[in-house]
Amino acid sequence: MHLVWNHRRMQPIFSSEICVAEAGSVQLEFMKLSEITGDPSYDKKAQKVVDILDKARKPYPGLYPTNIDTLSGKFTGGRISFGAMVDSWYEYLLKQYLLSNKSVEKFRRMYTESIDGMKKKLVAQSLADPSLFYVGEMDDDASVFYGNFGHLTCFVPGMLALGAKELGLDEDLDLAKKLMRTCFKLYNNTVTKLSPESVVFATNADVLDDNGYISPIPAKLRDMPRDSLTIQQGLKDGYFVTKPWYILRPEVVESLFVLYRITGDELYRDWSWQIFLAIENYTKTPIAYSAYDNVMRTNQHKQWRDSMESFFLGETLKYLYLTFSPSDLISLDEFVFNTEAHPFRIIKQ
C-alpha cells in the first residue's frame, strides 16, 4: 500500500497506485546495502520489483506508462515518457548493470529494450529546425505522440553516452550529442541563459508559417501568459515555452559532465561554464541561490522564488565541480552515480 497525506482533511489516504520511478529507483541503494552488510535480502526485495516491471504487459516493448498498481502489478495509466515519475527507472536499468560489474544480463537486456523503444517511438526532430532532436511523450497505449520536452528529460543524453561507452553502442553516443545540443539550446535561447522548466515542440507541419515559425499559437497554449510564448528563438526552433521557470535543476549539467568525461570534447565544458555563469548572474542572492520565476525576464530581484531545492547543492553544483576536475576524481570507470548524484563504487565479484 502507498500512503499519501491529505493536508486539507488532515488524514492519510491509502492507495495501491504509485509511479514507476518510486518503485524502480531504490535498486542501486539496496544492492549496495546488501554488499556493505553482507545481507542479500535487501537486494532480493528490490529485485522483485524489477521482475514485476519486466513481466508487466506494456503498450510497446521497453516503454512503461508512469503509473502502476502495486497489488495487481498492472499499469494504470499515465503518459509514456522519459521525464517526471519514470525517469530514474530507465536510468537505473543501465546503472544496475554497471554497479553489478556487468554480471546480470537481465539489466542490459531491459535497458537496451527501453532505449530501442525510445528511439522508435519517442525521439523526434523539430519541424522548424531538423538539427534539433528531442524525446517526446505518448499516451498510455502508445498511439498518440506529444511534443512535450522538459528539463528533467535532459538526463537522457548522459545516460545514452554512458550506455554507449559501456555497451559499445556507438549510435547511442551520436544521439546523445544531438539531444545534448537541444538541451543546451533551451538555456542559450533565453535572455538570462537559464533554461525553462519545459517546452512543447510543434508536431504538425500545419502550424509552421512560410518562415518556419510556429503560427498560429496552438489552442492549448493560447491562454498562457504572453511572455511565456514570445521567445522568438524558440518559435524559430519550433517550440513554445510552457513552464518559464528555472528551479536550479541538475539534469543538463549532469549530462554535460558525462559527455565531457566520455568524449573529452571541450565544447561540453564551455557549455557548462556558460550555465554556471547564468546561475551566478541571475539566481545568486545575498544568502543563497534561488529558483527563478521567468527565464525571459532579467529583473532578478522580482523573479526570485525564495526557494532552493536540495538537489542544487547535492547534484547541480557537484556535477559542475566534477566537470572541471581531473577525470580520475570519481572516475566513471570505478563509480556509478545514483539518481541523487551519490557515487557508489562498482561491486567487484
Is the peptide bond between 216 and the residue preceding it cis, with omega within 30 degrees of 0?
A: yes
Q: 238: left (phi > 0), else alpha (psi -120 to 50), else beta?
A: left
Q: Which three cell numbers stand for residue 329?
A: 576524481
From the list 16, 315, 280, 342, the residue with the least C-alpha distance to 155 is 315
If you count them, how many residues does the chain have?
349
For the beta carbon of residue 280, count every other beta carbon within 10 angstroms: 10
Q: Which three cell numbers stand for residue 181?
A: 545540443
Bridge partners of residue 239, in order along the sequence? 201
Could you confirm whether 197 is annotated as catalytic?
A: yes
User: In degrees rounded to 5, what are phi and psi of residue 312?
Assistant: -65, -50
30-34: long-range contacts at Cβ-Cβ below 8 A with a sequence spacing of 24 or more?
A: 31/96, 31/99, 31/100, 31/347, 32/99, 32/344, 32/347
Active-site hit among 197, 251, 254, 315: 197
Query: Half-sphere exposure (CA, 13 Å, Cβ side) for 110?
Result: 23
Active site residues: 197
